[in-house]
Amino acid sequence: MRARAWLCALGLLILVEAGTSSYAGAQSTADAERLFDSFTVSLVAASRCDPPDERTMTRFLSNLLIVQDEILRQFKARYPNADEATLLGVIDNRIKRLGSSLENQIAVRGCMDESIIKLVRLFELNARPDLFIKRAD
């Protein structure tokens, strides 16, 4: 149930924060979608199996907004005639579909399944405060 609450919060953040950040790392819509999906499923796994503290969740959501902004930007470029509300609806449906699928997987396999453990670890990586900071070469 907690994961569902985080998914609802995630959906609200997407609607409220659309267009507030930029991430230049994703080179294509497919890259942005994969990155967004990895954030989504890691959020569900961590929320359900190893709930993060508030600070970690805040860092994660900050990074997620950057990723979400990139997928929205990519969708706008790919579908220039679609309005933002429609594109946000597509993103919200993607969140719900992925979340539901992972919830089912957790219900069947449990939190100790290796794939779920990897997603919880991915959540921790996705919550790093320096995740999208460019480093000088």
Residue 8 CB coordination number (10 Å): 13
Using an 8 Å Cβ cutoff, are 88 and 12 in contact? no
* pLDDT tens digits, one per residue of 11-23: 444 433 443 344 4
Check residue 65 and give its pLDDT: 93
Q: How high is the pLDDT of residue 32?
A: 85
> Quick count: other Cβ atoms within 10 Å of Cβ 14?
19
Please give the sequence-ordered ranges of beta strands (E in DSSP) within 16-124, or none if there are none: none
SS3 47: helix
pLDDT tens digits, residue range 45-94?
999 999 999 999 999 999 999 999 999 999 999 999 999 999 999 999 99
DSSP element (H, E) containing 54: helix 54-78
